[in-house]
Amino acid sequence: MTHKSVSVMPLLSFRGITKRFGPLVANDAISLDLNQGEVLALLGENGAGKTTLMNILFGHYVAEEGEILVDGAPLPPGSTDAAIQAGIGMVHQHFTLAENLTVLENITLGTEPLFAWRRDIKAARTKIADMAAEYGLHADPDKLVGALSVGERQRVEILKALYRDARILILDEPTAVLTPQESDSLFETLKKLTAKGLAVIFISHKLNEILNHTNRVVVLRRGAVAGTVTTSEADRAGLARMMVGEEVNRPKVTSMMPGNAVLRLTHVDCQSDSEAQSLKDVSLEIRAHEIIGLAGVAGNGQRTLANLLSGLATADAGDVEILGAPGVADPTELVRRGVGRIPEDRHATGVVGEMPLWENLISEDRRGAEIARAGFVIDKRRALERSKRLIEEFDIRCEGPEAETRLLSGGNMQKLILARVLSRGPEFILANQPVRGLDEGAIAYVQSRLLQARADGAGVLLISEDLDELFALSDRIAVMYHGRLTPPQDTAGLTVGDVGLLMSGHEAESAHAH
Amino acid sequence: MIGDIFEILLTAGFWAATIRIVSPLILGTLGELICERAGVLNLGIEGIMTMGAMAGWMWVFQGGDLWGGIVFAAFIGALFGLFHASFTVYLGLSQHVTGIGITLFASSLSYYVFRMLLPDATTPPKIVPFQPYAIPGLSDIPVIGEALFSQTPLTYLALLSVPAVWYVLERTPLGLAVRMAGENPVAVESQGIDVLAVRTGAVMVGSAFMAIGGAFITMSAFDAFYFGMINGRGWICVALVIFASWRPGKALLGALLFAGLDALQVRAQQLAGAQIPYQFFLMAPYVLSIAAMVVMSRRASYPKALLVPFRRGDRV
Ligand SMILES: Nc1ncnc2c1ncn2[C@@H]1O[C@H](COP(=O)(O)OP(=O)(O)O)[C@@H](O)[C@H]1O
Ligand SMILES: [Mg+2]
């Protein structure tokens, strides 16, 4: 591949692309080439600037500096129309489909002159069927997009690009939302596409996929190109190092003498919106100085359990004892009692994005003596002082306590939540997917903070879909399947395979049937 | 009493009145619907209808012809649509605040211009409005003929615009772009189409419809322009769009229901005016509309990007 690019003009080249958002340099003088028929991986952590670079290529954003050449001709900046005309197709990280419209409508929008008297639906249907047959991308043209699964929606997005005769296909983290089987069929499709001469830019931060399915890798770090390697000459460790910069070591739990119980569930039933999510006969004890890992495929009752422990639901049967008193459907009371909650969806329930950092930082403590005068008037000066202290202590990268919270990156938002929770010295912590979507540095930070809280005497329930994380942090691991919980077992005596079997309901079924 | 009401329902006069009342409503509702399908709530409707009523009438009063007046009203409406769009579409400001502002501004401006051009008028001056045009053949059908086919040309225009708007939205590339802009503007941009232009165009066209709806009142239903003429019809249209789940056909249905109740209450007043205060009858269409709205809007699937501004270069 490389020897070819010397003689042949690259299909696409970025020349010194720089893009800033305020003080943040999202793309820093990026130059790279893409050749005919190759799959180029763009690798980088969250926030490295991959999506930004592609948005510039596709005309969503305009770069401050640099230019893009397609077939040697400059691409007019800031025009999606020009990008499409130049043969560029983009499958966005967050799909750009209208759910209330049909597949056919989503695909054909913009392919006919706007002021035509009618849409040629018949021709479109034939063309879509042909493409579906050619590339194995099946989609019912008359279905509403809202009725499609994530995998099907992605096929529609690819069809959208092919329908417009794309020669360069951008796939922005296409596998992040797919099951392993769906990912495999995507790679099959990619093979067919490249065989026909398409060039693909494949964005991911999953090293395995990149090593197995791409020709060349460009690594981005903090907006700049950190290196380019031919995939066949690359190795995991090397890529990881290039991506993260310095080596980041994730922390590991060390044994510790557990204390008194902070949480005790005995034969708890709790109804939820679906059968699989409803808790059935769940018993669990968590003690101080202990992290219990909760494994399970999403949707097996984790959310119900989390709601129960954060005061958003009550049990239908059985006993719930949180920090020495019965569980109540009253989050304020639980927080006052010493429960710390790290919610699953930090944007939706963790913070109020439109409010400044300082208000989010004190929101669980607004009536506390440190913040409130006479118990109800917020002393802003003291609140700001405390916020500044926490921002420093937890290394929250932001403009200051008055900045809007929604502008924080995922990792910094999670640090804010950690700061709010841990600064109260909680005795029981519910950590629900605490590192989901964070980059390596932030993951290591969050995990070490949880271990620190454990050392300080907290009992922690860690809900996670990442088995590596569970094995690294937990004293004991329990598995949830269909609303039932296996008794926690010492991590030392477990293998990933054991837990995987439990997650698919194997042992739970037989134990239940005995 | 119930029997009397049935008797009213069977008269051609009742149906003719219903169709007359429905004309401005359906024009306004279609206008609002076009704006909202593109993702822009246009609460300027009440003022734009007032402006259209004044502008069309004034055109004719100053010597222009009737159709010229309609075109002029539509043009002024589109102008206010552009005004609305420059705030809500290009600057991404609050659609509620901008809409209310335009209603206040356009209504007041209408009365101001009217007074300025006709400072001495005491009794409202009159024009010769659109005359009923009986469609040969069809108008001879009993009841339906008188109700549907002996109306003014503007009524025919209003009724025909229902299938026309439906066709454009559902069957043309432009309509698809408008609908998509109201569902997911990023998807529109990703297909190489200028979202802001699509939305602006939709708001301008929708506002033109509203203005023609207003002009109907001074140029077809009545022959003069006076204060408070639109009388909340614009707000009814906003409600009807929700009632209709943003569909032109259902919008006609909802408008007919409201107009029918309105025509009925006038007649029922005469029947039972002695026993029941007439205010109750005036209230009836609104109360029943609210009830219908509550029932219908629970199933409504609104355009996903309604009220959501699109800014180029924002995170996609
Ligand atoms: N429209 C935007 N406005 C402000 N900041 C942005 C915008 N888009 C991206 N960013 C910032 O630019 C950086 C790079 O983001 P992005 O390109 O999405 O990263 P990646 O796709 O590699 O995860 C991040 O810090 C992100 O917060
Ligand atoms: Mg990205």
Q: Is residue B307 part of a domain?
A: no
Q: Is residue B161 part of a domain?
A: yes
Is the pLDDT at B176 greater than 90, yes or no?
yes
The CA distance from A506 to A491, in Å, is: 19
Of A337, A364, A363, A356, nearest to A406 by C-alpha is A356
Cβ distance of B173 and A116 shorter than 8 Å: yes
* Atom number of ligand 1 nearest to Cα A49: 17
- Give pLDDT, residue B274: 67
Residues of A in contact with B312 (CB under 8 A): 60, 78
Of A59, A195, A423, nearest to B316 by C-alpha is A59
Q: Tell whether ligand 1 has an atom less than 6 A from the beta carbon of residue A44.
A: yes
Nearest C-alpha of chain B: how many angstroms from A151?
A: 18
Is the pLDDT at A2 greater than 60, yes or no?
no
Residues of B in contact with A118 (CB under 8 A): 171-172
Per the prediction, chain A carries an average pLDDT of 90
Residues of B in contact with A61 (CB under 8 A): 313
* Atom number of ligand 1 nearest to Cα A53: 17
**Alpha carbon B200 to chain centroid, angstroms:** 19
- Give pLDDT, residue A265: 96
**Alpha carbon A97 to chain centroid, angstroms:** 20
Nearest C-alpha of chain A: how many angstroms from B308?
A: 14
Q: How many residues does chain A have?
A: 514
Q: Tell whether ligand 1 has an atom less than 6 A from the beta carbon of residue A407.
A: no
What CATH number does the domain containing B253 carry? 1.10.3470
Q: Which of A17, A25, A46, A51 to mutate to test the pocket of ligand 1 (most atoms within 8 A of CB)?
A: A51
Q: Percent of chain A having pLDDT more than 90?
A: 67
Confidence of residue B1 (pLDDT cuts 50, 70, 90): low
**Mean pLDDT for the stretch of residues A437-460:** 90
Q: Is residue B42 part of a domain?
A: yes
Domain count, chain B: 1
Q: Which of A179-188, A193-202, B11-20 has the lowest mean pLDDT?
A: A179-188
Higher pLDDT, B136 or B175: B175
- Give pLDDT, residue B281: 82
CB B212 within 8 A of CB B77: yes
Cβ distance of B180 and A115 shorter than 8 Å: no
Token pair listed for B129: 């409005």
* Atom number of ligand 1 nearest to Cα B315: 1
Residues of A in contact with B189 (CB under 8 A): 60, 80, 96
Strands A168-172 and A199-204: parallel
Is the pLDDT at B113 greater than 80, yes or no?
yes
Nearest C-alpha of chain B: how many angstroms from A293?
A: 35
ipTM: 0.90
The CA distance from B192 to A59, in Å, is: 9
3-state secondary structure of B299: coil
What protein residues have CB closer than 5 angstroms to ion ligand 2? A 51, 93
Helix (H) or strand (E) holding A177: none
Q: Is residue B234 part of a domain?
A: yes
Token pair listed for B54: 């004044």
Residues of B in contact with A60 (CB under 8 A): 189-190, 312-313, 316
Is the pLDDT at A1 greater than 50, yes or no?
no
Cβ distance of B171 and A80 shorter than 8 Å: no
Helix (H) or strand (E) holding B140: none
Q: 3-state SS string over A456-489?
A: CCCEEEEECCCHHHHHHHCCEEEEEECCEECCCE
Ligand 1, atom 25, lies closest to the CA of A47
**Mean pLDDT for the stretch of residues A121-138:** 92
How many angstroms is it from A400 CA to the middle of ligand 2? 25
Of A354, A353, A415, nearest to A387 by C-alpha is A415
Cβ distance of B304 and A108 shorter than 8 Å: no
Q: Tell whether ligand 1 has an atom less than 6 A from the beta carbon of residue A397.
A: no
Strands A224-230 and A216-221: antiparallel
Residues of A in contact with B304 (CB under 8 A): 98-100
How many angstroms is it from A214 CA to the middle of ligand 1? 24
Please tell me what DSSP assigns to residue A27. Answer: E
A:B CB pairs within 8 Å: 94
pTM of this structure: 0.82
3-state secondary structure of B5: helix
Q: Is residue B255 part of a domain?
A: yes
Strands A317-322 and A372-373: unpaired
- Give pLDDT, residue A7: 53
Which chain A residue lies closest to B303 (C-alpha atoms)? A100
How many angstroms is it from B57 CA to the middle of ligand 2? 57
A376 at interface of B, judged by CB pairs closer than 8 A: no
Confidence of residue B289 (pLDDT cuts 50, 70, 90): confident
Q: Which of A17, A20, A21, A170 to mutate to test the pocket of ligand 1 (most atoms within 8 A of CB)?
A: A21
User: What one-letter code names the amino acid at A84?
Assistant: I
Confidence of residue B273 (pLDDT cuts 50, 70, 90): low
The contacts found for A320-323 with CB under 8 angstroms, 24 or more apart, are A320/A264, A320/A265, A320/A268, A321/A261, A321/A263, A321/A264, A321/A265, A321/A266, A322/A262, A322/A263, A322/A428, A323/A262, A323/A263, A323/A427, A323/A428
CB A314 within 8 A of CB A295: no
- Give pLDDT, residue B4: 79
How many angstroms is it from A141 CA to the middle of ligand 2? 29
Cβ distance of A110 and B192 shorter than 8 Å: yes
Of A80, A108, A118, the CB nearest to B189: A80
> Structural domain of residue B274, as residue ranges?
2-297
Residues of A in contact with B179 (CB under 8 A): 98, 101, 105
Set out the domains of chain A in order of their start, with CATH numbers: 2-244 (3.40.50.300), 250-338+425-514 (3.40.50.300), 345-424 (no CATH)
Of A55, A169, A137, A193, nearest to B190 by C-alpha is A55
Q: Is residue B305 part of a domain?
A: no
* Atom number of ligand 1 nearest to Cα A48: 22
Confidence of residue A151 (pLDDT cuts 50, 70, 90): confident
Q: Is residue B251 part of a domain?
A: yes
Is the pLDDT at A207 greater than 70, yes or no?
yes
- Give pLDDT, residue A513: 39
A97 at interface of B, judged by CB pairs closer than 8 A: yes
Q: Which of B122-131, B140-149, B228-237 has the lowest mean pLDDT?
A: B140-149
Q: Tell whether ligand 1 has an atom less than 6 A from the beta carbon of residue A278.
A: no
Which chain B residue lies closest to A61 (C-alpha atoms)? B313
Q: Is residue B308 part of a domain?
A: no
How many angstroms is it from A49 CA to the middle of ligand 2? 7
* Tens digit of each residue's pLDDT (9 = 90 or more) over A293-350: 999 887 889 999 999 999 999 999 999 999 999 999 999 999 999 999 999 888 888 9
CB-CB neighbours of A250 under 10 Å: 14
Is the pLDDT at A208 greater than 60, yes or no?
yes
- Could you tell me how many helices (H) and strands (E) chain B has, helices first? 13, 0
Q: How many residues does chain B have?
A: 316
* Atom number of ligand 1 nearest to Cα A173: 21
- Give pLDDT, residue A509: 45
Is the pLDDT at A95 greater than 70, yes or no?
yes
Half-sphere exposure of A145 (CA within 13 A, CB side): 24
Of A61, A80, A96, the CB nearest to B192: A80
